[in-house]
Amino acid sequence: MRTHVTLSSIMAGLMGASTFPLVIAAVLASSLIGQFGVARWQIGILATASSIVGAVLAPRFGAAIDHIGAKAGALASLAVSGLSLGMMAAAPGYEVLLAGALVSGLAQSMSNPATNKLISLHVEAGIRGVVTGIKQSGVQVFTFLGGLTLPWIAGLGTWRTAVGIYAGLAVIGLGLAVWKLPSDPPEEHREAATSREPLPSIIWRISVYGFLVGLAGSAIFQWVPLFTEEVLGMSTQAAGATSAVAGLLGIFGRIWWGRAAEHRVGVQRSLLIISIASVVAAGLLAVAEQAGAWLVWPAVVIAGLSVSSWNTVGMLAVIQSVPSRLAGRASGVVMLGFLSGLGIGAPLLGYSVDTFADYRPGWLTAMALFVGGATLMTPARFRNDPKPIS
């Protein structure tokens, strides 16, 4: 049990560090716009740069991790995360800030393949859902901490100081991972080197689902803080708190959904429920300006418990559906879909707001995308689910 706690903690930190540039772009959007004199869509491009690089490289790096090993992939992801955050903190101009975001995409491309393979190799069935939820909740832990601490540290000093502190945390995490992560069995590399097996259809379907949810979800989580500040008239601290609330609830949501999907509900039924709840969250945002600014709070609560949690279920499906020797490649395929959507959504909504001076078209489009995700997980397909553990 102690081994699983250590493994889960390191993997959670790895996941949070690899995606933290997206949190920086969302929570510190006002500071970055003021510092570099750029438009909203250029801030959205930071998330795009990270996500698109991650999407393009995820299948290749996922397959590579099957060959070099899960631990080596995890260490590489942490090292690159520290480098990218350091570049962003020290950026003298927007170009270097963008380069730091591009570098972070390398970390994203390796993070899920490496951690899913670690779970497949070193965690027994029955607790894989919870462990997957804990490691995926690292993204939400860093989102929560970023939403609370980035504006506060930036207020005491500068936004550069705030980002630099998190770069240091990534370096500390790298040292712990070198010391504590288990190594792969030697035979794992031999099996991966000779494997040309096709991936099951559920992997490709979840990749498309991830694209739709990533597209809509990135629009929501990237721009809700600025929407709260600009349109709903709340303070910068309140705007940051929307990100923190979504992150905090996402922690619990990812762990709960991991256990539920493995033991009771099944992965595809879980993804259907998540899609339906996400439609509600986007709908509340669409009417918040007219019906009441307070609606942003139930919207981020529902989004934190639904949109944020799909990753746990999707990654659990990978772990359940393929042998460990294919876990890296299958994870890469799913992340290709998800990160592609994640990269496109944020700048599209930013461009839409700059063009139409209105967030509502983006929120309504997000609703439609979540509906599309639900259609991929219809009850007729549930019979193909990996069987839940009773």
Q: What is the pLDDT of residues 67-115, one digit of tens each?
A: 899 999 999 999 999 999 999 999 999 999 999 999 999 999 999 999 9
Q: Please indicate, yes or no, if residue 294 is contained in any of the structural domains.
A: yes
φ and ψ at 389, to 5 degrees? -90, 125
Q: Please indicate, yes or no, if residue 17 is contained in any of the structural domains.
A: yes
Q: Please indicate, yes or no, if residue 389 is contained in any of the structural domains.
A: no
Alpha helices in the chain (DSSP H): 2-27, 29-36, 40-68, 70-90, 94-122, 128-156, 159-180, 186-194, 201-230, 236-263, 267-291, 296-305, 310-321, 327-356, 360-375
Output the average pLDDT for the chain. 89
Name every residue whose Cβ is closer than 8 Å to that of residue 42 and which is 6 or more positions away in sequence.
36, 94
Q: What is the mean pLDDT of residues 129-155?
A: 89
CATH number reported for the structural domain that contains residue 9 in this entry: 1.20.1250.20
Q: Please indicate, yes or no, if residue 331 is contained in any of the structural domains.
A: yes
pLDDT score recorded for residue 9:
94
Q: Please indicate, yes or no, if residue 82 is contained in any of the structural domains.
A: yes
* pLDDT tops 60 at residue 192: no
Q: What is the mean pLDDT of residues 131-138?
A: 93
Q: Please indicate, yes or no, if residue 388 is contained in any of the structural domains.
A: no
* pLDDT tops 90 at residue 331: yes
Which region among 45-54, 180-189, 210-219, 239-248 has the lowest average model confidence (pLDDT)?
A: 180-189
Longest dimension (CA), the chain: 61
* Structural domain boundaries, residue 185: 2-382
Q: Please indicate, yes or no, if residue 387 is contained in any of the structural domains.
A: no
Quote the number of domains for the chain.
Answer: 1
